Amino acid sequence: MKTKYDGPFLHVVAIQFAFIFIFSVVYYSTLSQFKSNIDGHILNYIDCVSLSTTIQAGIGLTDLQPNTPTTVLLTTIHQLIVILSAVYIVFTFTMDA
């Protein structure tokens, strides 16, 4: 028996993971434009995944900080997408089926 939340739940989870993956790749491609707050830390892809996951979860930024206007814009766009996806989630789960 299909419940109201079967389809939208998996859809929303897939979208969240897709955004994490897409932005981690974007951040990794611009990694030289980021800086770390940890002295001597060599940045790698895991730092990009951490930043992407932290922003997508709505927590904020990690020790990986944008260092150029381009990366500030990228992280801001990512944060705006989180806001829009939260609105989408609310409407998806509150609409009558």
pLDDT at 80: 94
Residue 97 pLDDT exceeds 60:
no
Assess if residue 11 is contained within a domain: yes
SS3 36: strand
- What is the structure's pLDDT at 7? 65
* Domain housing 72: 6-94
Is 15 domain-assigned?
A: yes
In a domain, 80, yes or no: yes
pLDDT at 23: 96
- Tell me, yes or no, whether 26 lies in a domain: yes
- Whether 56 maps to a domain, the answer reads yes
Does position 4 have pLDDT exceeding 90, yes or no? no
For 13, residues 6+ apart whose C-beta sits below 8 A from its C-beta are none
For the whole model, what pTM was predicted? Answer: 0.84
- Looking at the 3D structure of the chain, how many domains does it have? 1
C-alpha to C-alpha distance for 22 and 2, rounded to whole angstroms: 31
Mean pLDDT of 50-68: 90
Residue 72 falls inside a structural domain: yes
Q: Which helix (H) or strand (E) holds 22?
A: helix 6-29
Residue 1, in any domain of the structure = no
CATH number at residue 77: 1.10.287.70
